[in-house]
Structure 1
Amino acid sequence: MTRLDAKLARIRAGNYRPSDFIIADAKDGDMGPSITAAGPKRERDGSWTRHRTRAEFLDQVRAIVAQDIVDIMLVSASNLEVLAARGTFAGSAVKPAIRANDTTDIWRMRGATYHLAASRPFRTADLAQAARLTDLGLYSMTFCNDIETDLAALDAFAAFRADARAAGFTYFLEVFNPNIACGIDPEQIPFYVNDCIHRCLAGVMQADRPQFLKIPYNGPKALEELASYDPSLIVGVLGGSAGTTRDTFELLHQAERYGARVALFGRKINLAEDPLAIVSLMREVASGAVSPEEAVKAYHGTLQAQGIAPTRPLADDLLITEAPLRQH
């Protein structure tokens, strides 16, 4: 049993405690933006002239796994193959997972406009091959209030569940907000997404249901509604844009407070000046040991001690800039 399995078991049994909050590092950006998702190769003075190479990116993944704080490391199937061959997860309590599909709304390559059209389903990863390395994957859906695109997404989801069952594969379900104008009042979007999640799972038997959800944080009211409606469906939040360091810690704090039990952060970790330091403080915030404001100050203290130039002055990095976090 991995650390993730033990935490999920306690949460499902109603024995959750803040130390059971699940943190995942989403290092699967090569399935979407591709090269730019590896992040900048920063110098200690904060300057950079190129993005990390794949080898440098994988070195960062290995360092975070070795740190042994995150519970899940989410990567592409091809990167998991390389990491597993190097023994990255041997004897580790960190659970490897793959992005099991790559819908068109995450295709954000330089100069591309695919993401401006309604999301369409697509899968690159072969579950039967990936199952040799892990039994957990991320499956993503985006509902757009359009009968044809949403039916296609649901048909693809049904096919995925059948393939996952055949491969002995489990999954967690990511549901984005609509990626196009969809004719719904913006204030109703969070509740439209909540309804879509439960509507698409209502006919799914327990054996084929997701281990947990990954959704945008749409504010406390929508999250509380989703988390309390059916506690057997564990809710997790995604990180979204990089934002300020305060945004990172505030999102963790609010998500845990309003019922989420998982956080899956990509850019908020990968684009940090010191990813290891921010992961360490994420755990402290999630467990309630420090406040978001205290964590920002501690993070800047760590950067100063290491001679790393921060992206923003402390005063600016203490600001909450993401709109849903201001609903608190």
Structure 2
Amino acid sequence: MDKSLDRKLAAIHANPNCREFILADAKDADMAFGIGAPGLSPEAHSGELRLRTLEEYREQMRLITRQGLVDIMLMSASSNYALTIRERLFENSHVTPAIRANDTTDVHLARGASYTESPSRPFRSASLDHAQCGHLDCAPEERTLGANLGLYSVTFNNDLSHDTATLERFHEFRVEAERKGFRYFLEVFDPNIANAVAPEVLPGYINDMIARMLAGVAPAGRPVFLKMVYHGPKAMEELFRYDPHLVIGILGGSAGTTFDAFQLLADAQKHGAKVALFGRKINSAENQLAFVQFLRLIVDGVINPTDAVKAYHAVLGKLGIRPHRPLEEDLKAQATTMSYGGTSTSVVVPAKPEPAPPAPTPAVAVAPAKEAHACQCHSHHHAPEPVPATRAAEPAPHSISNGQASSNGFPTFSDGLPDFSRMDVVQRLAYHRQRLGLGR
């Protein structure tokens, strides 16, 4: 099945100013936190610490993939084997499976561990063959059975010996990936050691390191996009102006408030980002499916961050889910760390965003008319609207669909918006072709 990631990347390269935006759910934290990766169970009570199980973690991956609003599901190699290879979860989905292809020491966060106090060292647990086919030495025809996309992470600490080792291992990975036809996106963390670079020049240091390290890489070995800390408008625009085809993505960092997540997404998109990978922000949400739905509504220009927080709380209320914090607190900005270990850059999103239009009726976001773009990337796109649901597991996005294909070639709700849950492979393809202005 055609993947939305590939279509969106093609649209972005055709017109870097296109509003097309890629969302990823990062469910690879078991390669960092271990048993704590799935997060607290919703069944935990005051004074208790009950963590979700690995199976519960993977069930959230299934639900979000089936929801169809993200473009990438990032997993550990073991989860990829379970869901991609064994269960064939992504076979009839436009969502692209991906693995964390390496796990540098600054993400080794076992309880009681102190690895993050030392400069990051390159390390890789995952095998590309395991990602692609589930065993070593894949036959050529087997390499499409599993994930064929991975996240490769580097952390620079302005330390000659450590940073050159990082670059050498990155080179080795690129060679293997190119020979095996494995695509990757590049994550560039800020230094995990305090004062490695002066704070006032850190954004420029990271931008220069990215440009410098990729200058020696021909297109066949370059990442499909970047994942990095959002250092603010100036740094983001500088990198975007330098090379608009270097598709820039942001990482979410620690959970923070709902406003932190929504405003960070809107700000980064405004200043040049085309991708967002949110892991802990999604995984810590009271209802992950509703949270993801609002992320998509924000990047599609349907709702602003402040109104999205209010509407999200309204949805939680309709579902009978108690929010982590009162609405007035959830509308505030707070500092969120941008590394796994919490030892590097902290980012605070603007406490007072730009004036927004009046809020829509709580729990219902009405899509305004979209301005046509030259690339036609959004000229036919209508995102689902969040509306209260009867089940806490997955909020129903719209009024009931009749399940029949409309004249557009795909099932719609009574209000004319697409019903992703009832689309088959052919209908999803028809929807995305129309959305991108490609015809049938």
TM-score (norm 1): 0.96
Letter in 1 for 2:349: L
Where does residue 97 of structure 1 map in the other structure? 98
The aligned residue for residue 367 of structure 2 is none
Q: Does the residue aligned with 2:349 lie in a helix, a strand or coil?
A: helix
Counterpart among 256, 270, 283 of residue 283 in structure 2:
270
> Aligned-pair distance for 1:34?
1.2
The alpha-carbon deviation at position 183 of structure 1 amounts to 4.0
Aligned to 1:43: 43
Equivalent in the alignment of 2:74 = 74
Q: CA deviation at 1:106?
A: 0.6
Give the aligned partner of residue 326 of structure 1.
350
Contact 1:212–1:235 (CA under 8 A) maintained in structure 2: yes
Give the letter aligned to residue 254 of structure 1.
D
Q: Shift of residue 220 of structure 1? A: 1.2
* Contact 2:44 2:50 (C-alpha < 8 Å) held by counterparts: no
Alignment partner of 1:6 is 2:7:
yes
Q: Distance in 1 between matches of 2:79 and 2:210?
A: 29
Residues of 2 paired with 1:196 and 1:147: CA distance? 13
What's the offset of the Cα at 1:115?
A: 1.1
Matches within 5 A, 1:58-207: 58-84=58-84, 85-132=86-133, 133-207=146-220
How far apart in 1 are the matches of 2:48 and 2:65?
Answer: 25
Distance change (3 Å), C-alpha of 1:73 and 1:129:
same
CA shift in 2, pair 1:240/1:71, >3 Å: same
**How far apart are the structure 1 equivalents of 2:174 and 2:181?**
10
8 Å CA contact 1:269, 1:279 repeated in 2? yes
Q: In structure 2, do the counterparts of structure 1 residues 70 and 46 end up closer, same or farther at CA, with 3 Å as the change threshold?
A: farther
Q: Give, in whole Å, the separation in 2 of the partners of 1:70 and 1:243.
A: 21
Structure 1, unpaired ranges of 5+ = none
How far 1:324 moved relative to its partner? Answer: 4.1
Shift of 1:75: 0.1
In percent, how many aligned pairs have the same letter?
51
Larger radius of gyration: 2
* Structure (1/2) with the larger helix percentage: 1
Structure 1 distance, partners of 2:231, 2:177, is: 29
For 1:183 and 1:96, locate their aligned partners in 2 and report how far apart those are by CA, in whole Å: 35
State the 1:320 CA deviation: 1.4
Paired AA for residue 197 in structure 1: I
Deviation of 1:181 (Å): 2.3
Q: Which amino acid aligns with 1:78?
A: S
Partner residue, 1:310: 323
Supply the RMSD in Å over aligned alpha carbons.
1.6
Separation (CA, whole Å) in 2 of partners of 1:260 and 1:273: 26
Which amino acid is 1:222 matched to? A
In structure 1, the partner of 2:274 is 261
Give secondary structure in 1 for the equivalent of 2:350: helix
Please give the alpha-carbon distance, in whole angstroms, between the structure 2 residues aligned to 1:153 and 1:74.
22
Query: 8 Å contact 2:77–2:99 — kept in the other structure?
Result: yes
Cα distance in 2 for partners of 1:304, 1:12 equals: 41
1:47 Cα deviation from its structure 2 partner: 8.0
Q: SS in structure 2 opposite 1:38? A: coil
CA contact (8 A) 1:247 1:319 kept: yes
Q: Give, in whole Å, the separation in 2 of the partners of 1:204 and 1:289.
A: 38
In 2, the alpha carbon distance for the partners of 1:199 and 1:324 equals: 28
Structure 2 unmatched ranges of 5 or more: 134-145, 336-346, 354-440
Does structure 1 residue 212 correspond to structure 2 residue 225? yes
- CA deviations on 1:115-162 (whole Å, 9 max, x unpaired) are 111000000111122123021000000000000000000000000001
What is the deviation of 1:169? 0.3
> Residue 350 of structure 2 aligns to which amino acid in structure 1?
R
Report SS of the residue matched to 2:37.
helix
Contact 1:44 1:308 in 2 (8 A): no
Q: CA deviation at 1:44?
A: 8.9
Report the alpha carbon displacement of residue 90 of structure 1 after superposing the two structures with TM: 2.0
SS for the counterpart of 1:145 is coil
Distance 2:10 2:46 in 1: 42
- In the TM superposition, residue 272 of structure 1 has moved relative to its aligned partner by 0.4
Q: Does 1:55 align with 2:62?
A: no
Deviation at 1:219, TM superposition (A): 1.2
Q: Which residue does 1:25 correspond to in 2?
A: 25
The 8 Å contact of residues 46 and 309 in structure 1, kept in 2 or not, is answered as: no
